Every structure is written in structure tokens, then in C-alpha cells.
Amino acid sequence: PVTFKDVAGIDEATEEVSEIIAFLKNPERFQAIGARIPRGVLLVGAPGTGKTLLAKAIAGEADVPFYSISGSDFVEMFVGVGASRVRDLFQQAKASSPCIVFLDEIDAVGRRRGAGLGGGHDEREQTLNAMLVEMDGFDSNEGVILIAATNRPDVLDPALLRPGRFDRRVVVPRPDVKGREEILKVHVRKIPLAPDVDLAVLGRGTPGFSGADLANMVNEAALLAARRNQKSVLMDDFEQAKDKVLMGAERRSLIISEEEKKNTAYHEAGHALVAVMMPHSDPLHKVTIIPRGMALGVTMQLPVDDKHTYTKDFLESQLAVMMGGRVAEETFLGKLTTGAGNDFEQATELARKMVCEWGMSEMGPLTFGKKEEAIFLGREIAQHRDYSEDTAIRIDHEVKKIVMKAYQRARATIEQHGEALERIAAALLDREVLDAAEIKLLIEGKPLPEKPAPPPAAEKPAEAEPAAKPVPKPAPAFTKTSREKPAPA
């Protein structure tokens, strides 16, 4: 069974819920001072942060009956089934109290009421009403503790969230540097590691990863080592697995013409050069012109530490990095390609947020465009224009001004260091992948060290399986500028 030893990186959340186990094991201590045991605990956090794992750990530690059910199990084809299931569940729980009931994905039944379209009977509302009554109604349910998990607390009914039903809201955050290292230690327990593996370095190099991402990365590294018939997992395997999770799988079989390869090399060299030269941007991590996921080439930046807020200088530097690709194509190849489309999309979105949400333009410290939650759609979010035509024109003007300023910065940088960019592009065409240290040498005009020998080729399994299409995961905020292949019209 899972215990708290298997949960790492979310110490505050673990502390909050471990108190519940103390309640169940020794209620007299709390009742003597007049304290009431919390009825319910709501675990809130992004997908993959370990909410269900935390509930499993409570079940493993508590030594009391544990009922687990998913929110969608209550919604059925027949009317009234959901409500009767809620009653049955609590009846069983009361019969075997003290016990814990775990409701995963509670937003399936706990959505705000009054969202019915048309005059039909809303099955979900009836289920929710039954749940509200069972949780804190006329009958007491002493000794039954309800734990629920959701990643959409904003759509839950306010009556469900009040104290007496859910007394505690425990936020399960994405882990920080220390947390990521702890999580990696848990996942590598059963894996033989080579002496060169440094988990602290891996923890620092994976900002924005959730616990599930880290578990996936460790598994990918182990699979890679097994494919190469190694006895242990090397640091290089972890690096490759990290790149696979961040940027998508390599697609070496994709046939690219020499001209397109040259385009991509100059494009990525432009991103890389501007990223190194901008004072406030995230440090460069790696540049590749091997197609990965949906992109023909990727320039990867990794933050030094976890950022929770962004400065205007940082955002302006990131915008200049996004523009670097197109500027390099224009300056050195004298032509425009569709490869920069994704960069412009990201840049425009970022500039619009700077104007409309963060008050970083001459429009002043205002926000424009209220997020409207349409009640009949069950509180789904839609942008709502709460400003005049004239303001809309001024917003568009400001957005353009911010992006064009970044474009000019990128152009000035690339014109000033043109020779360095040529060297980076040539090295990319030769080596296909460059890391930050190699790019620094190229900018300084120093020769690169000899190419290391390639790792042993992965042995083909006896039966070739059809390759799954990799889904590129969004990188940590603003770190990935990729050259997207245009979708066929």
C-alpha cells in the first residue's frame, strides 16, 4: 500500500492531511479540548501534482475503512440513480465509521447549480443536493471524513465549499526545486543509477514539472537504458528523457531538404543569439535543428529558479528572443518563411496580456476584457469586451508597438553580432544539437571541442511496434520558441 513515505515534495499539504489520521487514531485528545473533527477536506491543485496519491497515502496510513469513488460514477442514464448512490455510500460509511470517503474529480457532480439549459430535470443537481444533505444535514455523520479532489475549484457550488462541509481546502502545488529532488528520490528507488547521476541537477533543470511529469521522465530514462542493454541508468539517459518530455520525441526519419535545413539553422541561431545577448531573459539550455514533436527545430531556455512573477524587462527580453528567428531569416537569407508563425502567435498573446492584464503599457494600470463566466454553460470562461471601439483600437496599437519594439531590439542585436550568428548556424548544420556552453564558445569566436562519440544505437526490439504520436508538452512558462511546421490548408 502507498504510505506517506511515497509522497514527497508537497510537505505542507502532507502535514495538513496527516492531522486527519491523528484525529481518527486518537479522537479523545481533540474532543477533550472541545475541538470538532473536520468533516471534509478538499484537495485542490493542477493535474499531476499528487492529489489522488495523497488520498491513497491517507488510506494506507489510517488503518480505517477507505471508500473511493469518482465523481462521474454518480451521473448515470437513469434519473435518481446518482442521488440514491450518494445515500448508499454514506449509509455504508456510517455503518463502518470511523472511516474515510474519497471522491475523485468532484467537479463532475459538484458544479454550481442553476446551470440547466432548457426545462429538463438536471440529474446532477439532484445528486449534488443529496450530497449536501448527507455531508452536513439533519442527521449527524460522526466519524465519516470526506476527502475530495479537484483541479477546477472555481466551478464548484458555494454551498459545497462552506465550512461544515469542507472545513479545509488544501492546495497541492507544483513542487519547487527541493520538492522536485525529493520526488525524484522516491521514483528512482527501484532503479539502478550510474554514479554520474545527480538528482539535484535534474531537479534544477526541470522547472514547472509536476510530480507526474517527473515520474514520466524517470520511466522514459529507464526505458532508454533498457533499450540500450545497459545495467544502470546514466545521467545522459535522464537528459535525453527530459528533452523528450519537454520538446517531444525526435523525428530523425523526417526528410528535410538542405535548403529547409539551412532555413531552420539560421532561424534557431537567431533565437539562440538573442537569448544569450538579452540581459533579462532566461539562460539558454539547448538548441537543436532535429525535428521534435511538431517543430522543425527548438531553442530551449531554462529558468535558473522557479519564477512566480515576471518583470517587464524579462517579458520584453523574451519577446525579443521570439522575434530573433524571423529577423535572422530576413537578414541572412533574404526571405520570409512560415516557420516563425508560432513565435508570432506566442509574442502577440504575451504582448496583449502585457497591455490588457498586467498594465505594462501606456494604456495605464487598467485591465481590459472581463473574463465572463456564463452560468448556463456551467461557469465556462469566455472573454467579454467591456471597452469601447476607440479603446480597442488603442489596445491594438499598443500591442503592435510592444511587438515591433522587440523586433527592432532583435534586429539591432543580430546586426551587431552577425558573424557570431553565422558561426552558430554553421555549427548547427554540422552538429544538429548545441548546448549553452558550445554557443558561448561560438559567440566568443573560439573553436568547439571535438564531437563526442555517439551513444550505442538502441537495439531494435524483435517486433516493431507502431510508434505513438508524441504530444508536445507545453514547456515551463515562456521558455520554448519553436519553429512550427505549418498545417496543410
Q: What percent of the chain has pLDDT over 90?
A: 35
Which pLDDT tens digit goes with each residue over 158-172? 888 888 888 888 999
More confident residue, 27 or 331: 331
What mean pLDDT, rounded, does the chain reach?
83
Name the 3-class secondary structure at 287: strand
Over residues 237-252, mean pLDDT:
87
Using an 8 Å Cβ cutoff, are 104 and 70 in contact? yes
Alpha carbon distance 468, 472 (integer Å): 12
Cell 531554462, residue located = 302
- Judged by phi (left if over 0) then psi (alpha if -120 to 50, else beta), residue 333 lies in alpha
* Contact between 89 and 65 (Cβ < 8 Å): no
CA 430 to chain centroid, in Å, comes to 33
DSSP SS3 for 281: coil
Biggest CA pair distance of the chain? 81
Task: Give the mean model confidence (pLDDT) for residues 15-28.
Answer: 84
Average pLDDT over residues 215-235: 93
What residues are labeled active site?
268
Name the region of 160 (left: φ>0; alpha: ψ -120 to 50; beta: rest). alpha
pLDDT in tens, 77-93: 777 888 888 888 888 88
Give the mean pLDDT of 351-371.
Answer: 88
User: Looking at residue 270, what is its pLDDT?
Assistant: 94
Confidence of residue 120 (pLDDT cuts 50, 70, 90): low
The 10 Å Cβ neighbour count of residue 102 is 24
- Segment 198-205 mean pLDDT: 88
pLDDT tens digits, 29-78: 888 898 887 888 999 998 889 888 888 888 888 888 888 888 888 777 77
- How many residues belong to the chain? 489
Continuous segment of H or E residues that includes residue 44? strand 40-44
**If DSSP codes are grouped into helix, strand and coil, which group holds residue 470?**
coil
Half-sphere exposure of 433 (CA within 13 A, CB side): 14
Whether residue 368 has pLDDT greater than 90: no
**pLDDT tens digit string along 123-153?**
777 888 888 888 876 666 677 888 999 988 8
The C-alpha atoms of residue 275 and residue 58 are separated, in whole angstroms, by 46
CB 147 within 8 A of CB 103: yes
Q: What value does the CA radius of gyration of the chain take, rounded to a whole number of Å?
A: 27
